[in-house]
């Protein structure tokens, strides 16, 4: 069974927060829609003296664990920037979740091939190493643009 975990980047304190250091919960709007957000207690956030859970201020999007690990056994999440070792060269990619109805999967940007673009294939067949992520290592995004 796939382990469901998330992380979130706290823009205020400039650090990545991993579960179980926060909980996730839906926040409903008046029109019935909802958004899933990361929450901590007011006490943990320094916003009060209660254990009432409130959204983490100035948070980025939740990033889901893919269920896969890189060659060093580190968990791969959405938003990670990875390098893939092809036979004689490296390529760099961002891990993204593709939420199409007929194709829910973790994919890579930029696309590797028209024939396949699955993160799982890259992990199992080629070898993947995490280089960083889009929040803590924004300089790595430049490498993606040069691919």
Which pLDDT score is estimated for 31? 85
What are the tens digits of pLDDT across the range 99-137?
776 777 888 888 777 666 688 888 988 889 999 999 999
Mean pLDDT, the chain, whole residue set: 84
Task: Look at phi and psi of residue 46 and say left if phi exceeds 0, alpha if psi is from -120 to 50, else beta.
Answer: left
pLDDT tier for residue 95 given thresholds of 50, 70 and 90: very high
Asked if residues 106 and 95 have their Cβ atoms less than 8 Å apart, the reply is yes
Is residue 145 helix, strand or coil?
helix
* 62, pLDDT greater than 90: no
Of all residues in the chain, the percent with pLDDT exceeding 90 is 25
For residue 104, give the H/E element and its range: strand 103-109
Asked if residues 138 and 131 have their Cβ atoms less than 8 Å apart, the reply is no
CA end-to-end distance (rounded Å), the chain: 35
Preceding omega of 20 cis (within 30 degrees of 0) = yes
Whole-structure pTM value: 0.83
């Amino acid at each position: 069974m796939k382990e469901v975990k998330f992380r979130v980047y706290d823009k205020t304190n400039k650090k990545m927060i991993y579960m179980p250091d926060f909980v996730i919960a839906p926040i409903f709007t008046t029109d019935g829609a909802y958004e899933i957000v990361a929450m901590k207690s007011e006490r943990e956030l320094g916003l009060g003296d209660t254990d009432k859970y409130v959204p983490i201020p100035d948070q980025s999007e939740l990033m889901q664990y893919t269920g896969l690990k890189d060659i060093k056994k580190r968990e791969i999440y959405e938003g990670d920037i990875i390098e893939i070792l092809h036979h004689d060269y490296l390529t760099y990619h961002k891990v993204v979740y593709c939420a199409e109805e007929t194709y829910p999967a973790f994919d890579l940007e930029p696309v590797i091939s028209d024939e396949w673009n699955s993160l799982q294939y890259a992990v199992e067949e080629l070898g993947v190493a995490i280089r960083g992520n889009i929040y803590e290592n924004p300089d790595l995004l430049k490498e993606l643009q040069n691919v």
